[in-house]
Homo-oligomer: A and B are copies of this chain.
Amino acid sequence: MRDDESGKRSKNGRSGSGSRAEARRATEEAILKAAETVFAEAGFGGATMQLIADMAGLPKANLHYYFATKEALYRRVVERIFTTWLEAADVFDEAVGPAEGIGAYIDAKMEISRSHPNGSKVWASEVMHGAPVIQDYLETTLRDWTEGRAKIIRRWIAQGQMADVDPHHLLYMLWATTQHYADFGHQIETLNGGKPLSDEQWEATKASVKGIVLRGIGVL
Contacts and interface: CB of A to CB of B under 8 A. Distances in A.
Contacts of A44: 43, 45-46
A41 interface: yes
Contact of A138 (B47, B138, B190): B190
A186 interface: yes
Contacts of A86: none
B208 A169 contact: yes
A158 interface: no
Nearest to A181: B172
Interface of A: 40-47, 121, 124-125, 127-131, 135, 138-139, 142-143, 146, 163, 165-166, 168-170, 172-173, 175-177, 179-181, 183-184, 186-188, 190-191, 194, 204-205, 208-209, 211-218
A45 B41 CA distance: 11
Contacts of A194: 139
A1 B154 CA distance: 53
A114 to B, nearest CB: 14
Nearest to A143: B191
A214 B215 CA distance: 9
> Within the oligomer, what is the number of copies of this chain?
2
Nearest to A187: B127
19 contacts: A43-B43, A43-B44, A45-B45, A127-B184, A128-B183, A130-B186, A131-B190, A138-B191, A139-B194, A146-B191, A163-B215, A165-B208, A169-B209, A169-B212, A170-B208, A170-B212, A173-B212, A212-B213, A212-B216
B128 A124 contact: yes
A134 to B, nearest CB: 10
A182 B106 CA distance: 22
A166 B213 contact: no
A180 B211 CA distance: 20
Contacts of A217: 212, 215
Contacts of A45: 42-47
A169 to B, nearest CB: 4
